[in-house]
Amino acid sequence: MMRDAGTGERLSFGTYESAVADEVEIANRSRLAWKEDQLRIWDLLQVSTPWLLLTISTVIYFSWVLPASGEHFWPQGAPVLGLVAVSVLWVLFGHTLPIKRRTLRPGTAGIYFVGLLVLCLTLMSYSDVFLVFTIAGFFHAYLLTPWPLGVLGVLATSVALNGSAMRTWADPTPQMIAEFILIVAVQTAAIGVGIVLTARSEPEERKREELVKRLEEALHENAGLHAQLIVQARESGVHDERQRLAGEIHDTLAQGLAGIITQLQAAERIARVQDETDEHVARALRLARSSLTEARRSVQALAPQELGRAYLPDALRTLTERWSQDQGIRAQIEVTGTQEPLSPAIEVSLFRVAQESLTNVAKHADASRVGVTLSYTGTEVLLDVRDDGRGFAQRGGTGFGLTSMRQRIRGVGGHVEVQSALGEGTSVSARVPAIAQRGARAKEEADL
């Protein structure tokens, strides 16, 4: 009961941990997806803004400003078209391609930015409509590192953008100059603060990217370890199953065949007495049929035949009485305490211990009496098999049968003690936890 409750509690806690881990993973994925969307939008603005602004300025100039001025394409419009062509090449090779190829460096970014401002100032000398193209300088100032250069780039762009209006000032007053300085300062502060925040968050972003990279490597490594654990668990399961089958064969087929051989040898010794021969042959046939049934049961991994028809006390009583009749040795069984249906694994293990112990008595003990005691103490179940045979030295109790016994009982959380001395008989004691059968326990709780 306590073990089942603890296991259920651990399973529920593990399920809770798994659910929390899944929620954290979903939240991280959502945050990373949102961050990637932001970066994607910003990269799109970085790349597309100069082309969009240059296109708007050029179209307005040649479709409206130039015709409205009364000037012809030549000589007024041709230099502007040439400057637009140079601007296209400058933006393409100095910004767009390096951004896409991720080859833009701080030095080349500074050179590109200065060239961009020169082209903007030159184009604005022909027409103020190219103020629109100059706005691209605010976006590209983010490319300048360290961040003071970026703020300086914003300042230069603001001065170039607003300074074009100063050409129309015939006699600027101090108030006009103060307004110009205020506009440039506010514009620089408003846009430059973004550069400062970006510069401060950039190291954290790099650390986060490095952490994500390490996490991915760790996940790949864990996947490899998980595969190794699966292989090891499979190999361990195969080993345990081989041990189980070895114990099943030893406890069933080997014992049955040993009994058949004993009966046939007895029949051979007294072959002249027809009735006795028939009796031994009948016993041999009965053991052979029983061994065949056990072999089929072992293959199907079912409980012992006796346990298939009764609970453990009745199964042990049937086993003891049959063994006493076959061996001609007096055997008594006693059951104490309040009986309750146990877990099938518990009952099978105790039954096999009793079976192996009785087989050892028949083969080695030369005993005249055997006592089997099954005790229910509430929290534990005890099984004792004692005989008054020849016994053995303690160092001799390391055969396969005793080893198989200990492995069975250890597998259900119990332990086995074997006490023996030469000429003083042998006692085999098994102690296991009293884990009730699930269906029976549920029925008892329902009755309560």
Q: What is the pLDDT of residue 44?
A: 80
Q: Contact at 8 Å (CB) between 315 and 333? A: no
Distance from C-alpha of 153 to C-alpha of 155, rounded to nearest angstrom: 5
Identify the pLDDT of residue 436.
Answer: 75
Please count the other Cβ atoms lying within 10 Å of the Cβ belonging to residue 257.
Answer: 13
Helix, strand, or coil (residue 105): coil
Torsion of CA 249, 394, 259, 369, to 10 degrees: -130
Q: Which helix (H) or strand (E) holds 117?
A: helix 106-126
- CB count in 10 Å sphere of residue 408: 25
pLDDT at 84: 94
pLDDT at 444: 45
Measured distance CA(302)–CA(348) in Å, rounded: 9
Question: Can you say how many angstroms the Cα of residue 10 is from the centroid of all Cα atoms in its chain?
Answer: 16
Give the count of beta carbons closer than 10 Å to the beta carbon of residue 172. 12
Q: Which residues pair with 419 in a beta bridge?
A: 427
Res 205: pLDDT: 66
pLDDT of residue 301: 47
Q: How far is CA 237 from CA 7, 14, 63, in A?
A: 20, 23, 83
Domains defined along the chain, listed by start: 29-168 (no CATH), 310-448 (3.30.565.10)
Instruction: Return the structure tokens found at 184.
Output: 């440039």
| Beta-carbon count within 10 A of 171 CB | 5
> With contact defined as beta carbons under 8 Å apart, do 350 and 341 qualify?
no
Give the model confidence (pLDDT) of 151-202 as tens digits. 999 999 999 888 876 666 667 778 888 888 898 899 889 888 888 887 677 6
Q: What is residue 203's predicted lDDT score, i.e. its pLDDT?
A: 64
Bond into 67 cis (ω within 30): no
**CA atoms lying within 13 Å on the CB side of residue 135:** 16
Residues 208 and 22: their CA atoms lie apart, in Å, by 20
pLDDT of residue 133: 92
Q: Is the whole model's pTM more than 0.75, yes or no?
A: no
If you ran DSSP here, which 8-state letter would residue 342 be given? B
Per-10-residue mean pLDDT for the chain, 448 residues long? Answer: 40 43 54 59 81 93 86 84 94 90 87 93 90 90 86 91 71 81 89 80 68 75 63 59 67 68 69 59 71 61 58 89 90 90 84 90 88 91 92 66 83 87 89 74 43
CA distance 319 to 326: 11
pLDDT of residue 132: 92
Read off the amino acid at residue 59: V
Residue type for position 302: L
Which tokens in the block code for residue 159? 């001065």
Burial environment of residue 297 by CB neighbours within 10 A (0 to 12, 13 to 18, 19 or more)? middle
pLDDT at position 34 is: 55
Characterize 322-338 residue by residue with b for buried, 16 or more Cβ atoms within 10 angstroms of its Cβ, and e for exposed. Answer: ebbebbebebebeeeee
Measured CA to CA, the distance from residue 429 to residue 418 in angstroms comes to 6
